[in-house]
Amino acid sequence: MVDAALVLQTACALRHARRILVITGAGLSADSGLPTYRGVGGLYNGHTDEGLPIEVALSGPMLRRDPALCWKYIAQLGSACLGGQPNAGHYAIAELQRRKPQCWVLTQNVDGYHRAAGSPPERLIEIHGQLAPLFCQSCGAEAPQLGEHLQRPLPPLCATCHGVLRPPVVLFQELLPELALNVLYEEMAKGFDAVLSVGTTASFPYIHEPMLRTRVAGGFTAEINPEPTDHSIHMDAFLRCRALDVMGDLVSHI
């Protein structure tokens, strides 16, 4: 049972905040049926069928060296994302953005559920990219129907030049999208009154940096997660639960 006092504290902070950042990770989409990457029920705890760390199999160099092997794991992600849909947590975050016109979402997720739930694209930073549309690495032609390509032999090939297709997603050992990074740091420079971390271990520097900056500046920080992370003890409020269980309640107080 989540602490009602912490819920009210967090809701009050969000209500009075002008600039808000919601950071989301795989835990948010777990209630849509998607596996998390690590931790309890993690898809990538351990090694792949080939005995490789997932960081090797699902990497930019592997896509170039062995496209079929890399696409085996891209296809797992793609099938999972296409088989699910946004949950109440996604819709509550979109509603928070409607009520708070300076509320931004920074997501590590590539499933597209924030867009589908109604989060405005102009205030959505998809720092790890998206799974669609596919594009050809050779000629740049787009192939929008991810689902159709997953029904065919892998890797999917371009209808124009027969080059290997790929999604605009950040694989391991690849650089983050420059535009998304620029937007993130522009908004961080303006400062946030409150940061809400939802379903992420915040293990990457560009994910936990907004929380650290906000805390140092005297802003409010809160975390929603079923299990504590390295950052939980430093938060103003740690709500030990799923986003699905509490996000709607938080937004209802605003």
Domain boundaries, the chain: 4-33+86-131+174-252
Q: Is 208 annotated in the active site?
A: no
Cα–Cα distance for residue pair 215/189, rounded to 1 Å:
14
Q: pTM score, two decimals?
A: 0.92
> Would you say domain 4-33+86-131+174-252 falls under CATH 3.40.50.1220?
yes
The residues, any chain, with a CB within 8 Å of residue 250's CB and separated by 6 or more, are 7, 10, 11, 14, 92, 96
Q: Which of 160, 26, 11 is nearest to 84 (CA)?
A: 26
Q: What is the pLDDT along the chain (254 residues), one digit of tens a residue?
A: 788 999 999 999 999 999 999 999 999 998 888 866 554 345 555 678 888 988 899 999 999 999 999 999 999 889 888 888 999 999 999 999 999 999 999 999 999 999 999 999 999 999 999 998 999 999 999 998 899 999 999 999 999 999 999 999 999 999 999 999 999 999 999 999 999 999 998 889 999 999 999 999 999 999 999 999 999 999 999 999 999 999 999 999 98
Tokens (6 digits) for 130: 């998206």
Cα–Cα distance for residue pair 137/153, rounded to 1 Å:
18
| Contact indicator for 33, 116 with CB cutoff of 8 Å | no
From 114, 128, 149, 231, the catalytic residue: 128
